[in-house]
Structure 1
Amino acid sequence: MLEVYQLHKEINGREILKDIQFTIKDGGSLAIVGESGSGKSTLAQLIMALKQPTSGQVLFNGRCLPNKRIKSYKEWYRDIQIVFQNSASTLNPSMSLFQCLEEPLINFTSLKKQERKERVLEYSSKVGLHEDLLRNRPGRLSGGQYQRACLAKALIIHPKLLICDEIVSNLDMLLQHQIIELLKSIQKEEGLSLLFITHDLSLVPGLCTDILVLKEGEKVEQFRASSLRDEGERDSYTMNLVKSTEMLEAAWKQYVL
């Protein structure tokens, strides 16, 4: 279980996050939603121990954020993996795709060579990548293939929690929904806990059970995804996000048709 308590982050005297608090239970799913600059990505970096909070706590299954010991970081990353919005540097361009997917198995597991090969083939198939692509270097993949490969690399060591930070924002709407459907399938199959960070509320229903809305680093509200469009219950900021998403969807459909 992920537990975030009174998380606060300042950078150069500026408040980026203010008193953020939430939990994600085993197998649970939470969407963090807000405009650019609302602190979503900073929150992901804090949970991944890529930055340290100014105050507050992050716990995973009772363990605190890792300290300076390499072993504690390795244990943290064994259980929590992230796929970033800008994933261009996730896959080593000098390696084959097979080597890129095998790398976390070498670093985080004790699997033998044949077992690693079988796991790579399993997860490349699971995310919809043909075996022939494994010989290629990442630079030869399309945008959609690259993002699928990043998902496979994050999932291949069987983490307990996956953080997705705007992972489909650079893809067209058709590819976005393909990746979302893939996430739904994998989460259901593996009982994965999910923290899904996005500015696009249309991606959340059916993927996450709960939504937390951020604005300028502060929590606006948290609610069940099923009540997203209950206008009488939602904050006006949340409803503005809903309406802006609906306008973008309508414009895209008109353009495609």
Structure 2
Amino acid sequence: MLQVQQVFKEINGRQILKDINFSIEDGGSLAIVGESGSGKSTLAQLIMALKQPTSGQIIFNGRNLPSKGIKSYKAWYRDIQIIFQNTASTLNPSMSLFQCLEEPLINFTNLNRTERKNRILEYLGKVGLREDLLRNRPGKLSGGQYQRACLAKALMMNPKLLICDEVVSNLDIVLQQQMIELLMSIQKEQGLSLLFITHDLSLVPGLCTDILVMKDGKKVEQFNTTDLHHERERDAYTITLLKSTEMLETAWKKYL
């Protein structure tokens, strides 16, 4: 499905990514975990062809990362969708929610208006949003509703791979859990491949089968999620991330 091979990325003379290698099989799920500044989001932008690697290869379903040509980019974007960390810029604030969701269907599919409306209603239901919200502008949605709308927008394209870049970091702990459960349900239902990018290891078990840990633009280690708590096998940096997560969970419980 997705192969990332010896990828390097340099920006303004600074090495952001250094020899990144991993793959995701059809229907597979991988979490990329690391602190802010570890290169996670840059890697997501490369996979989405929003930036080009300095060297290395990104291959999806046998196709190389597009570097030119509208048709090749359109085909890439149909198959790979992303939900960004900063979702506030995902939906056009001057449009209604219906128009925001319809726009990619106009640009990337041949569906007529009735078919587009039916697709929108179908995925609105999948993410648990009411139909009457379609008349509202995005700014009137709650944080949780906005995030679900962004998920619906991505899923409507029937992608083969969904990239989630810190999609729950701005939500409270209850909404985080709801969003994770929704992603688990949809991935199972649609057979999606999932790349879940986060700094919080507590969000990964149950959602992803494998974990890749990054630090300073480098791959620290990769392992099966079931081995997360096998501390003797884990890198010291991974253990630090894990213990930081456990401390936050303990602090949260005091307020629940």
Same fold judged by TM-score > 0.5?
Answer: yes
| TM-score under structure 1 length normalisation | 0.98
Structure 1 distance, partners of 2:215, 2:113, is 47
Match of residue 10 from structure 2:
10
Match of residue 187 from structure 1:
187
1:36 aligns to what SS in structure 2?
coil
Q: Describe the superposition over 1:64-84 as per-residue Cα deviations: whole angstroms up to 9, x where unpaired.
A: 111221111111001000000
1:21 aligns to what SS in structure 2?
strand
User: Where do 5+ consecutive residues of structure 2 fail to align?
Assistant: none
Match of residue 56 from structure 2:
56
Residues 1-257 of structure 1 mapped to structure 2, 5 A cutoff: 1-256=1-256
* CA deviation after TM superposition for structure 1 residue 255, in Å: 2.1
2:92 aligns to what SS in structure 1?
coil
Structure 1 distance, partners of 2:125, 2:135, is 14
2:33, 2:197 within 8 Å by CA — same for their partners in 1? yes
Q: Describe the superposition over 1:14-69 as per-residue Cα deviations: whole angstroms up to 9, x where unpaired.
A: 11110000000110000000001100000001111111111000000010111221
Q: Describe the superposition over 1:182-223 as per-residue Cα deviations: whole angstroms up to 9, x where unpaired.
A: 000000000000000000000000000000000101110000
Structure 1 distance, partners of 2:110, 2:206, is 36
Q: Describe the superposition over 1:127-177 as per-residue Cα deviations: whole angstroms up to 9, x where unpaired.
A: 010111111110100001000000000010100000000000011111111
Structure 2 distance, partners of 1:163, 1:177, is 18
1:232 aligns to what SS in structure 2?
helix
Structure 2 distance, partners of 1:96, 1:126, is 19
Structure 2 distance, partners of 1:179, 1:172, is 11
Structure 2 distance, partners of 1:2, 1:137, is 35
2:52, 2:67 within 8 Å by CA — same for their partners in 1? no
For residue 202 of structure 1, what is the amino acid of its counterpart?
S
2:80, 2:161 within 8 Å by CA — same for their partners in 1? yes
1:50 aligns to what SS in structure 2?
coil
1:181 aligns to what SS in structure 2?
helix
For residue 180 of structure 2, what is the amino acid of its counterpart?
I
Q: Describe the superposition over 1:95-118 as per-residue Cα deviations: whole angstroms up to 9, x where unpaired.
A: 111111111111111112111111
Percent identity, aligned pairs only? Answer: 79
For residue 162 of structure 1, what is the amino acid of its counterpart?
L
2:119 aligns to what SS in structure 1?
helix
For residue 10 of structure 1, what is the amino acid of its counterpart?
E
Residue-pair matches, total: 256
Structure 2 distance, partners of 1:253, 1:144, is 21
Structure 2 distance, partners of 1:78, 1:15, is 30
Structure 2 distance, partners of 1:90, 1:235, is 36
Q: Describe the superposition over 1:210-254 as per-residue Cα deviations: whole angstroms up to 9, x where unpaired.
A: 000001011100000011001111111101101000100110110
1:129 aligns to what SS in structure 2?
coil
For residue 167 of structure 2, what is the amino acid of its counterpart?
I
For residue 179 of structure 1, what is the amino acid of its counterpart?
M
